[in-house]
Amino acid sequence: MFKLADLLKAALLSAVFVVPVFAENHHAKSPKFRTADISDNITMLRGKGGNIAVLSGKQGILMVDSDYQDMSPALQKALQQFGGEDRLTYMINTHWHGDHSQGNLHFGHKAQIVAHDNVRERLLTSQEVKLFKMVTEPYPEHALPSITYKQEMTLHINGEEVGVVHFPGGHTDGDSVVFFKKANVVHMGDLYFNGFFPFVDIQNGGSVKKMADNVSAVIEMIDEKTIVIPGHGPVSNKAELSEFRDMLRGTSAEVIAMRDKGMNLGQMQVEGLSSDWIDWTDGFLSEQVWIGILNSSLEADK
């Protein structure tokens, strides 16, 4: 006999493939990277995948995340303004998903790759994200993180103190948040989708509750002047990050209330969330898929 959790998982996967997922719209192909100056020596690059941060200076380039593989030629061009890809010294992967790490396949020949221990472990073997029908084959040695850590580490480059801190079990099991301490800038990776419902990889160690808890912990570590770089979306700040945390907790509470009424996933998706969250639907996940993720996360948290 099937266990209840198995039936719920099957229902979620069924709903996922019926309800539209607007991943292709969100990751529309970009022939080049758009740039945003964050500080004197930190720049954000927005391409097809996750937001990239570049710290440049006399000691070379530190880059946070590397986008999709097919964006590597455009990223090569974007790096020319900082002296070119040959000046890459470190490349940090905030997690293992391909929209943040496939560029390793090219730029791993240039830089030392830094990530949490779990990122290297996942990239050593085949991985799958069923929601996006995405299978990641094992990375070759040059594209794997060669410098890994368990809880936190510090890199010193270009006069900056770069703190790399593991916040477990939020988006994935290998999430890193990168703190540029002197510049008062933080790169959140996919613990933060600015302005829309996030993807939470329940299948691979993620949890909506833990994501909210991790975001709350970061909020306590920054101030009102901190510039916040999200994994996806425009440059942000502490107030907007707090709104994202509140959305995670608020929508979770609504799904918990519907579950307490005995509603199944399909009924919850028909019922929908309150109008409080309408502004968060302008992204790549529909409200119905987000309800499915919330429900799946609550089941996993048990």
Domains of the chain (ranges, CATH numbers): 29-248 (3.60.15.10)
Task: Dump pLDDT digits (tens) for 135-177.
Answer: 999 999 999 999 999 999 999 999 999 999 999 999 999 999 9
Kindly indicate the confidence band of residue 29, based on its pLDDT and cuts at 50, 70 and 90.
low
DSSP string for residues in 65-134: ----GGGHHHHHHHHGGGT-GGGEEEEE-SSS-HHHHTTHHHHTTTSEEEEEHHHHHHHTS-EEEGGGTE
Smallest CA-to-CA distance from 118 within 171, 155, 160 is with 171
Q: For the residues 6-14, what does the mean pLDDT come to?
A: 37
Task: Dump pLDDT digits (tens) for 117-126.
Answer: 999 999 999 9
Predicted TM-score (pTM) of this structure: 0.90
**What was the pLDDT predicted at 17?**
32
Kindly indicate the confidence band of residue 134, based on its pLDDT and cuts at 50, 70 and 90.
confident
Q: For the residues 248-264, what does the mean pLDDT come to?
A: 98
